[in-house]
Structure 1
């Protein structure tokens, strides 16, 4: 056979495969974009119905403390004060991140700088095991262990923001740890070599060189952990007390956006004031997820600079 003809046919076949691959790739990208835009449009349309159809006040929604969508206030508008849930979500998220970050950084430093290969493999298995535990299991453990512990040592009924933060602390720990490990591994090796060559001790190198170089990645890990905690529903719902009241103490029963959503969405009729109010809470959650993603991109961009 003619070798030139074989080459032409081979190139033609490879070109066809390239075209098919590009078509499939672009189709997948377009599908993802359509799904994301559709989700945003659907939740946004449902979320603003509380203000356009039921004439609720946006100011009262964000700053009000009375949550009872089926009842109207003196001004004739439904009582949809979401401030207790917003405060509860932020309080649980920030407290869980505050608890988890030191443990995550310490674990990541041990895995990347101090441990042997066996110790690193063992810790990696533990982190992966924590990721695989279902949320309901964390909730049951929190209900049977954390709530009695908080009741005995901090007072109150045991249900509240503190219990939710303890449960979320364990749940977000593997996320922050894994991403921190990746950030520490991404630090160029010659940074450490140069620091040790200049006479710095190992701990001085870790504290002043490695951690500082990996700081943008660590901050990104913390933000991802906060996003994970902010959207958690089932485990928090089981230990926080689910009281739609503005929290005055870490040990008082409270509620989060996700806990109110999971409890109420199945008990409302589509199109009613109560259902529209829950969709408004879902819109707040979606906007917060968008905020966390934008924050991650800003941190990553600053780290590259």
Structure 2
């Protein structure tokens, strides 16, 4: 009887203490938005982006991010689309890893990947000098572009400001903390940097690889992408895993698959133009390409993009002697 009475008193006292502590627990909660963080390896976390383009529902958080703890430092590749997002992520990473972000990297000048930097107060901001230069030139415009895409969620950008990288990298490749980096080109004036973590066999491929559908060819030139994918396919080891711009982690063969997609797309466009088909026709399903890619919206956009590239090459090609003499 005495034991039951004592147990009851203890339970009542514990409940009372939890009720009193409730406001304190709430005060310590991380700010929104809620962000999913996945363990990818010991001391390594993947923050998955939403599929597709920026909308009010996904609040621009469409790019994959990667966090790596090394000693007292926490490295973050990418920072998300807004100050609010970066602050929420920083809080969650501190709870999971025991560290706040000490170093943040801008892989390429995509607003959904770099505008969050301003919310990581005290973190060192890293980027290749080419990426930093593009951010300085484009970010004032990219904030407005992102605001339009966000629609009803544009309030996330109410305090938007540009935090340019304060540490610049030079050259083609190097090492930074636990990471190795490599510079490649997405177009003639857009550099991207890939970041690898040898201990986890992980490599990021922001701006180059996609797993939620066809690769995004907008604002790119396919000659540059082709060279980049060829280099990735040649350099990658069989045990490597790619963290793409969007979608789940990809196997080592992903770059070769992107190359096959581009080759099939160009071939289909050459055939369509030879038949005199209009550009406005729907993009066909390509042979040897997955349904996920063939059925994605980006495949339709890529059809138009590569069609216009083919037309531009045709218009710029010098006339052959036979063609010249016939005019």
Task: Give the TM-score band, short-chain normalised.
Answer: under 0.3
More helix by share: 1
Taking structure 2 as the reference length, the TM-score comes to 0.23
Taking structure 1 as the reference length, the TM-score comes to 0.24
Larger RCO (CA under 8 A, 6+ residues apart):
1
